[in-house]
């Protein structure tokens, strides 16, 4: 990934540390390694963000931030990727996770109708909880590992293409200098 393009969209560390709501954890935000944009840091942040996005728990962003700080991965990227799950994407993602979990556990789908309210969820938590959790963990792992691998491959491809472009420019300049020297 182009580092300069990523930096345009990410907030600066100083701006985040100045946020009054983050004063209790400002000492953790001073670590320079959670702001680095390198292949290891970004790929780890992509894994953390995508993994946490698929977990059926509240406060996914806090979990992603804690994991990013602990593993010294890029904090803004890991927290931003959690927003893949939003009010529009949560129902299909978790329904898929529930269906996958039930299929992997060889369980019968016992829920006849879904009613999206808190009372229905509490009434059916025993029925849907285990397949949902298992399916979510499987989806989180597959999505996180896939994101990690794709990030590493794309980053490597970008670096190699820049090396090749630099080598081409070098050879073109050398050939141009040879031609200029032979003309004189």
What confidence tens digit (pLDDT) does each residue in 70-117 have?
A: 898 998 899 999 999 988 988 889 889 988 998 998 887 666 666 666
Q: What is the DSSP letter of 82?
A: G
What confidence tens digit (pLDDT) does each residue in 21-33 have?
A: 665 566 566 666 7
- Cβ atoms of 84 and 177 closer than 8 Å: no
In a domain, 22, yes or no: yes
Share of the chain above pLDDT 70, in %: 76
Number of domains in the chain: 1
As a residue count, the chain comes to: 184
Higher pLDDT, 31 or 1: 31
In a domain, 126, yes or no: no
pTM (2 d.p.) = 0.78
- Looking at residue 177, what is its pLDDT? 87
The rounded distance, in Å, linking the Cα atoms of 137 and 131 is 10
166: pLDDT strictly greater than 60: yes
* CA terminus-to-terminus distance, the chain: 44
Q: State the chain's mean pLDDT as an integer.
A: 83
20: pLDDT strictly greater than 70: no
In a domain, 62, yes or no: yes
- Looking at residue 28, what is its pLDDT? 63
The rounded distance, in Å, linking the Cα atoms of 22 and 43 is 25
51: pLDDT strictly greater than 90: yes
Q: Which domain holds residue 33?
A: 3-88+144-183
Q: Per-residue confidence at 130, pLDDT binned at 50, 70, 90?
A: confident
Residue 177: half-sphere exposure toward Cβ, Cα within 13 Å = 6
Q: What are the E-state strand segments in 3-149?
A: none
Residue 168 contacts by C-beta under 8 Å, 6 or more apart in sequence?
Answer: none
């Amino acid at each position: 990934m182009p580092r300069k393009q990523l930096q345009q969209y990410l907030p600066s560390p100083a701006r985040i540390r100045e946020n009054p709501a983050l004063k209790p954890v400002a000492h953790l935000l001073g670590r320079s390694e959670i702001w680095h944009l390198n292949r290891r840091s970004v790929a780890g942040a992509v894994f953390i963000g995508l993994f946490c996005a698929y977990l059926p728990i509240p406060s996914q962003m806090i979990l992603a931030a804690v994991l990013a700080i602990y593993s010294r991965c890029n904090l803004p990227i890991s927290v931003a990727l959690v927003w893949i799950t939003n009010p529009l994407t949560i129902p299909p993602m978790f329904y898929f996770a529930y269906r996958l979990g039930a299929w992997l556990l060889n369980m019968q789908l016992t829920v006849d109708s879904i009613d999206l309210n808190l009372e229905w969820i509490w009434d059916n938590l025993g029925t849907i909880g285990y397949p949902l959790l298992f399916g979510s963990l499987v989806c989180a792992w597959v999505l996180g590992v896939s994101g990690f691998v794709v990030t590493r491959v794309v980053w490597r491809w970008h670096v190699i293409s820049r090396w090749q472009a630099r080598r081409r420019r070098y050879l073109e300049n050398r050939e141009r200098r040879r031609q200029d020297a032979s003309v004189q």
